[in-house]
């Protein structure tokens, strides 16, 4: 159970589930109107913290600089949506719905807050057991009330929404290198040699007379000469010619993002002549205690 003294340490710090997964940042703490004890913490979840989910703190624990709750991250993110800016309070119906979602018995909650004897447990009627929002400033002053009440002073808070734009990294495509084989016709001229027969005749001279007169006088004879020629021989060899790789580079471009934000306006409305000037309630949520 979280105490009031621990609220300033808790706000704007991480909230983790029982498996050690970060759920978000603690934004608000809601106190029980009767006991004054912390009952709920809102956790900013979603992209850029755009959503707030309610988590009961009855079984939560503050560990160093973060809060641990006994619920899984997806369980917290799927909690019923409650407007935390609607007067800074949770109604009895909203609390009942949230406790049912987290599987917490409603009667045990009433008994712990000291209201069990004042309520009709069957119909749920009786004093509204709402929880009021607290901040680090309100929690540090124990004499102040734990909830925000409209109309307690003569000032009205005007609020407006601000747009926060961030970036997310996502896959935009893929590129790959693929190697394949093609066959090309190539042509190259090389010199080749071959032998041809040429008949040479020489007259009988004193130098060759002895060779000419050797052997039989008149005979039949043959003389054979082997001829040679060159032919092209083709061989192929694979040799590396270059290295190819894929690299990525980042380029920054300017992109305009448009959105809608809401603003509250406050204006005076005067009554008819002869009447006192008064203010009319408008559909503008009032905040206090922040």
CA distance 75 to 88: 24
> pLDDT tens digit string along 249-264?
888 999 998 988 889 8
pLDDT at residue number 30: 87
pLDDT at residue number 278: 37
> Taking a C-beta distance cutoff of 8 angstroms, is the pair 243, 177 a contact?
no
- Based on the number of CB atoms within 10 Å of its own CB, is 129 exposed (0-12), middle (13-18) or buried (19 or more)? buried
pLDDT at residue number 150: 37
pLDDT at residue number 6: 82
What does pTM read for this prediction? 0.41
> pLDDT tens digit string along 159-191?
888 888 888 888 888 899 999 999 999 999 999
Residue 228: is its pLDDT beyond 90? yes
> Measured over all CA atoms, what is the biggest interatomic distance in the chain, rounded to whole angstroms?
169
CA distance 190 to 233: 10
pLDDT at residue number 84: 61
Residue 243: is its pLDDT beyond 70? yes
Share of the chain above pLDDT 70, in %: 75
Domains by residue range for the chain, with CATH: 4-140 (2.30.30.240)
């Amino acid at each position: 159970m979280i105490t009031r003294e621990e609220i300033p340490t808790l706000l704007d710090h991480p909230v983790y589930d029982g498996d050690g997964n970060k759920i978000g940042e603690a934004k608000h703490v809601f106190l029980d109107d009767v006991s004054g004890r912390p009952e709920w913490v809102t956790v900013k979840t979603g992209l850029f913290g755009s959503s707030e989910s309610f988590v009961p703190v009855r079984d939560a624990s503050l560990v160093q600089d973060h809060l641990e709750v006994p619920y899984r991250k997806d369980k917290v993110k799927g909690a019923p949506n409650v407007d935390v800016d609607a007067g800074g309070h949770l109604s009895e119906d909203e609390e009942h719905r949230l406790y049912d979602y987290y599987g917490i018995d409603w009667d045990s909650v009433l008994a712990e807050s000291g209201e069990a004897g004042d309520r009709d447990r069957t119909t749920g009627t009786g004093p509204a057991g709402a929880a009021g929002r607290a901040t680090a400033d309100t929690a540090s002053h124990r004499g102040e009330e734990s909830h925000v009440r409209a109309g307690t002073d003569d000032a009205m808070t005007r609020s407006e929404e601000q747009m926060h734009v961030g970036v997310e990294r996502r896959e935009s495509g893929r590129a790959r290198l693929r190697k394949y084989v093609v066959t090309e016709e190539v042509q190259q001229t090389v010199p080749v040699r071959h032998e041809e027969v040429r008949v040479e005749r020489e007259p009988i001279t004193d130098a060759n007379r002895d060779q000419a007169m050797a052997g039989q006088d008149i005979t039949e004879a043959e003389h054979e000469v082997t001829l040679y020629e060159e032919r092209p021989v083709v061989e192929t060899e694979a040799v590396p010619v270059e290295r190819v790789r894929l690299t990525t580079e980042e380029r920054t471009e300017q992109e305009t993002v448009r959105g809608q934000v809401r603003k509250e306006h406050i204006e005076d409305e005067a009554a008819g002549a002869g009447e006192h000037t008064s203010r009319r309630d408008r559909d503008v949520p009032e905040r206090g205690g922040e």
